[in-house]
Amino acid sequence: MQVEGFEFPDELYYYPEEHVWVKIEGDIVTVGVTSLGQYMAGKIFQVTTKNKGEKVTSKSVIFTLESAKWIGKFRLPIEGEIVDINEEVIKNPTLINEKPYEAWIVKIKGNIRREKLLPASEAVKIFENDVKRVIR
């Protein structure tokens, strides 16, 4: 699905509060930032994450993005353990700006509260309001 040129792939789930996309494969959850989220952040120059093996809860800051105009701390409705970190994104954070749906940030093994996630068809309704606000 698209909203004003911002893409939201149908096969992903979204946590609109954080402008995060989530791919669920069994008990592994891959997390990244939406095309709208990276646009709103501006050019991202630093990504920091929890370490591989660290436990996370819904209160944990799982990763942080920094741009010239913003620092974002990302929490998700998930309990589990960081099992992988995208080292390419850590070394070259602008990959998130260039290819937000390929530039995943972390993979977490655990339980995500699916009722907090939205499929693309529902998430775009929320994202449409954000796009109107951002593109004025």
φ and ψ of 32, to 5 deg: -150, -175
- Average pLDDT, rounded, for the chain: 93
Contact 38, 7 (CB under 8 A): no
Burial class (CB in 10 A: 0-12, 13-18, 19+), 61: middle
Contact 31, 114 (CB under 8 A): no
Q: Express as a percent the part of the chain with pLDDT over 90.
A: 78
Q: What is the pLDDT of residues 79-114, one digit of tens each?
A: 999 999 999 999 999 999 999 999 999 999 998 888
Q: Where are the domains of the chain?
A: 2-134
Distance, first Cα to last Cα, the chain: 21
- The confidence score (pLDDT) of residue 134 equals 76
Residues 6+ apart with CB under 8 A from 79: 56, 57, 58, 110, 111
Q: How far is Cα 18 from Cα 23, in angstroms, rounded to an integer?
A: 15
| Residue 100, helix vs strand vs coil | coil
Q: CATH class for domain 2-134?
A: mainly beta
φ and ψ of 68, to 5 deg: -60, -30
Q: What is the mean pLDDT of residues 8-17?
A: 94
Tokens representing 98? 């260039």
Query: pTM, whole model, 2 decimals?
Result: 0.93
pLDDT over 90 (residue 1):
no
Q: How far is Cα 77 from Cα 123, in angstroms, rounded to an integer?
A: 16
